[in-house]
Structure 1
Amino acid sequence: MNLGYTLAYRLGITPWERARPGFRAQLRTYLDHEEVHRAPGKALDVGCGSGDHSIELAGRGWQVTGVDAVPLAIDRARRKAAAEGVDITFLVGDVTTLGPAAGSGFRFVLDVGCFHGLTAPQRLDYAREITAVAEPGASLLLFAFGPGHRRPLPRGAAHAEIERHFAHWTLDADDPADTTGMPRPLRNSNPRWFHLTRE
């Protein structure tokens, strides 16, 4: 998938960066709810792309680290953050091997479309890494398409698979995502928001 995303950023074909109002409103509602239950602290945005969600979090007072495997996306994210005047740590990295550079003690982890594009072995590594860097009681908000083979779309993830991979987390919510106005393949992919809490 990294090669595909690298090419997509180079060609400017990044439909995931053009979230529609309904999708953005849902994300903001989740973030509002998060902040009712915990004061902003350290947040990790995995598969952060060019940084829009990281910037949203930083604007809300979170201390944000964004990680993405595509250097061009991270370059754009750094430029956007500088233009917005927010301080965010952006790293070129692999979410399956975060390592010490990413830090630890994260209170909130955001994944808008990263996990659902990984292979089965990568998902195991991802879950291990996210669990290791999240503090007890942390939240993970994860957006994913439903399972299926719809090339070139990511293969998606099912409720049971999320539960199985995140054995040290409690799956609190599985809600439909609003994809109104998005291309038909995205609307037909049964997109979901999953919210989990670290035990």
Structure 2
Amino acid sequence: MMCDWQSICKTCVKWLLFVLNGLCILMAVGTSVFAIVDIKVMKKYGEGQGHGTLSGDILIIIVCLLLFIVAVFGCIGTAKENVKILCLYVGFLMLFMVVELLVAVYVAVQRYGLEFRVSESMRNQFFRNLTNDELDQHKKIWDDLQITYKCCGLNGPEDYQAIRQGISMSCCPRAFRAKTNYAQHQLYKTCLE
């Protein structure tokens, strides 16, 4: 009983290439979905703050499309067992790795800039002087943010002291959600202590 190691190795390599290309296809689709969701979120919350992020997301989608094409190309070369197609596939893969690295650096730089601009904008909104007409809208926006992200002010409850206002009820989620005024007052008092 002699084993034909060459055919066993060939079959193993073939299936390994199929699995790796399948993972590349899944990664490309997943990353594209992430970028599309990010574009929708940026459109919802304001493209003005996301300068450069939209171009980064579009670049990610294009790179993912290229990854998908290269992975399909690799699957075809593997299925046909064509050495020339596989050599082209490896060349495209190497080129693609360099492009992907450049895109990752570009997107990371854009994200850092976006984070800085958003935090600066939020700081300006929180500490700006408001008229009585604007106060209710400002309070509603910050209540929604604080409840959603379970935070209080920008850096903590001290921010409310800096603007000479009482700490918002939304800083205490249990008190904010209470049904009666008495329960809200008691839970708010407990939270502040």
Normalising by structure 1, we get a TM-score of 0.23
> Which has the higher Rg, Structure 1 or Structure 2?
2
Normalising by structure 2, we get a TM-score of 0.23
Relative to total residues, which structure has the larger strand share, 1 or 2? 1
Relative to total residues, which structure has the larger helix share, 1 or 2? 2
Could you say which structure has the greater relative contact order, defined with CA pairs below 8 angstroms and 6 or more residues apart?
Answer: 1
